[in-house]
Structure 1
Amino acid sequence: MDLNRTFAQAVTHQNEGRWAEAETLYRKVDKARPGTAPVSWNLGVVLKAQEKWEQALAAFERAGKADPGFRGLNFNIGLCLQKLDRKEEAVAAFEKSVAVEPQDPVGRFNLAAAYRDQEKLEAALAQVDAALALQPEFVEAQLLQSKLRTNMLPLWHVPMVNDAPRNDAYAAAIRTQVKPGDLVLEIGTGSGLLAMMAAKAGAQVVTCEAVPWIAETARKVIAANGLSDRITVVNTLSTALEVGGVLPRRADVLLSEIVASDFLSERIIPAVADARTRLLTPDARILPARGGVRCALAAGELLEKHLFTGPTNGFDLSAFNKLYPRSVRYDARLVQPHALSASVDPFSFDFTGGAIADSEHVRFSLPASADGRCVALAQWVWLDFGGGVMFENSPFIDSPASGWQPGFYLPDHPLEVKRGQSLAFDAHHDGFNVWLSFRQ
């Protein structure tokens, strides 16, 4: 057998995409002349094209033994390991690839994907940013970058910090209740905005942020605003803090914005309770001091279009409504609800008083304030900072951007109601979640 001719024919088949035929010829050459780097390499390439990952990996590794400097070796080994779900080994191979060829955007992209698979999102973003710096039109890297940023910073963060009424309420509370010389403990750093407000009021601030890349970004924001000497950002949960460490003594003020759209699901109750027990002075000021869940009957043609279906193009689709969730959240400006009753607060929480119940189950009724078509029970949150400073994100009041979205809890079908007619509801919370339902 003329090995050179056989190898050349295999290359021709490979270039034509005839993978199986190329594999057969490469194996013949490899058997006759084992361990030759170009043969093992090309065999690995055609095996990879056929998704024979274990065999391809073995072929690339043989090529590496023959010629450790073979270009693209670590990259292709990494690809095979990635496909075989050997995540740590894939990362190591891609790291070697980037070290050898730092100007290769594809190598950096694959390293980013490997880091993502290990939940190392910050490292993944650094590599995909580097890939795009090398090749700005790299669309796959653009997509990965977008997904990483979405995972690393939930979309509600930006509208939250652009919520002027919320910011103004916190600013007013801080102005009146934070004094020069106070030690402020903040739970949930986020952008660093509230910590900077407290520092500007003359306080020293220790602020906790559990997400490492958000904590690091907050440090940069705080440094850019010249307040690093007054604010310490700690990448930890507040429950891991101890007095005497980074928190030099018990704090005079607890500042938090770990209020969820349903009030509870960011675990504000246990976080505040732990801080009061271990980290605050007995007379510490707590901002917000109180808060709760507020509800009202909701109507609106556009809202109904987002919650229920029925006659459509000559067909009745009403049965499809049973598949729709009984609770959804929408930006109120998108669905334009209007109130069909006064509001009621099924749950209120006082963070300055005694222990808050682990769970509650209450029943309440709401009388309609006008004739109309009730399509949901709207739910939002309210905060009381003390000193007359209040905030709520009512879906019935036009407001700027907000990270808190109102909830809409659905009946089985829209309900025609008359003025004064009451609808009955069950409300439940377990300390972490809120559930509201029509009693029909």
Structure 2
Amino acid sequence: MTVDEAFALAAAHHQAGRLAEAERIYRAILAAMPDHAETHYNLGLALQSLERPDEAAGHYLRAIALNPDDALAHNNLGNILASRGRLDEAVARFDRALAARPDHAAIHCNRAKVLERLGRPGDAAAAYRRTVALKPDHHDAHLDLANILVRLDDLEGARFHAEQALAIRPDFIQAHNTLGNILEILGRFDEAMAHLRRALELDPTQLGVHRNLLTS
């Protein structure tokens, strides 16, 4: 079996969720070809799915050493760093990924989440705006942007993006709740109540929505 054939077989196992078998073949490829960058990247993915992030990070670093412009390896390494609380390092990885792939919406979104955790809401909002510009149907990014804009006292902007999230996904409970809160602040009480009630129709167990409804 050639390396290309082995890689294709490992990738097929990987896609089918047979991660242990995929890992075995990826490692066999690397034993024969230690500098096979794509195998390092795919093995990193498999190890992440197997909840072995430290091992995954090592293979992403090796993939990056072999291909410094591997945007997805930088991105995935950034996510691992973020999960470890190493937020500044994570942002640096996302920045490096976006230098190679400035049009990648998911990387902008990952960067936005970490900037928010760093207490940089203005920068996070800019990153979420870039996300939804590249992927207008990204309902989660619209909602995250809405929540940040509330903190930045841009209530009309927040309302717009919460409404966009609901236009994309009408059953989005969190977006109904957020929009209800925004409309209440804006003094549009009947509309606010309608969205909060709709959130509870979709999931009556939402205690936060019950609390918001009681205080509206």
Question: SS of the counterpart of 1:126?
Answer: helix
CA contact (8 A) 1:128 1:145 kept: yes
CA contact (8 A) 1:53 1:83 kept: no
Deviation at 1:50, TM superposition (A): 2.1
Deviation at 1:115, TM superposition (A): 0.4
Letter in 2 for 1:31: A
Partner residue, 2:100:
100
Q: Percent identity between the aligned chains? A: 29
CA contact (8 A) 2:70 2:100 kept: no
Q: 1:71 to 1:119 in 2, by over 3 A?
A: closer
Of Structure 1 and Structure 2, the greater strand share is in: 1
TM-score, length of structure 2 as denominator length? 0.66
* Structure 2 Cα separation of the partners of residues 52 and 152 of structure 1: 38
Letter in 2 for 1:58: G
CA contact (8 A) 1:53 1:84 kept: no
* Structure 2 Cα separation of the partners of residues 98 and 3 of structure 1: 30
Structural mapping, 1:163-202, within 5 Å: none
Deviation at 1:91, TM superposition (A): 0.6
Q: C-alpha deviations, 1:320-368, integer Å up to 9, x for none? A: xxxxxxxxxx87xx6xxxxxxxxxxxxxxxxxxxxxxxxxxxxxxxxxx
Deviation at 1:22, TM superposition (A): 0.7
Q: 1:108 to 1:154 in 2, by over 3 A?
A: closer
Question: SS of the counterpart of 2:55?
Answer: helix
Partner residue, 1:128:
128
Partner residue, 1:7:
7
* Structure 1 Cα separation of the partners of residues 57 and 33 of structure 2: 19
* Structure 2 Cα separation of the partners of residues 6 and 98 of structure 1: 31
Deviation at 1:47, TM superposition (A): 1.3
Partner residue, 1:316:
none
Partner residue, 1:68:
68
Answer with 1 or 2: which has the greater Rg: 1
Partner residue, 2:28:
28
Question: SS of the counterpart of 1:119?
Answer: coil
Of Structure 1 and Structure 2, the greater helix share is in: 2
Q: 1:103 to 1:7 in 2, by over 3 A?
A: closer
* Structure 2 Cα separation of the partners of residues 60 and 49 of structure 1: 14
Deviation at 1:153, TM superposition (A): 3.1
* Structure 2 Cα separation of the partners of residues 126 and 2 of structure 1: 47
Structure 1 residues without counterparts, runs of 5 or longer = 156-329, 335-440
Letter in 2 for 1:34: P
Deviation at 1:150, TM superposition (A): 2.8
Paired residues, what number? 158
* Structure 2 Cα separation of the partners of residues 26 and 112 of structure 1: 33
* Structure 2 Cα separation of the partners of residues 88 and 70 of structure 1: 20
Question: SS of the counterpart of 2:143?
Answer: helix
Question: SS of the counterpart of 2:12?
Answer: helix
CA contact (8 A) 2:29 2:39 kept: yes
Structure 2 residue 137 is matched with structure 1 residue 110: no
Deviation at 1:154, TM superposition (A): 9.3
CA RMSD of aligned residues (A): 2.2
Deviation at 1:109, TM superposition (A): 0.7
* Structure 1 Cα separation of the partners of residues 107 and 148 of structure 2: 18
Partner residue, 1:152:
152
Letter in 2 for 1:146: A
Structural mapping, 1:395-434, within 5 Å: none
Structural mapping, 1:23-422, within 5 Å: 23-153=23-153
Between 1 and 2, higher relative CO (CA 8 Å, sep ≥ 6) is seen in 1
Deviation at 1:8, TM superposition (A): 2.5
* Structure 2 Cα separation of the partners of residues 12 and 124 of structure 1: 37
* Structure 2 Cα separation of the partners of residues 46 and 74 of structure 1: 16
Question: SS of the counterpart of 1:34?
Answer: coil
CA contact (8 A) 2:132 2:142 kept: yes
* Structure 2 Cα separation of the partners of residues 29 and 71 of structure 1: 23
* Structure 1 Cα separation of the partners of residues 66 and 102 of structure 2: 23
TM-score, length of structure 1 as denominator length? 0.34
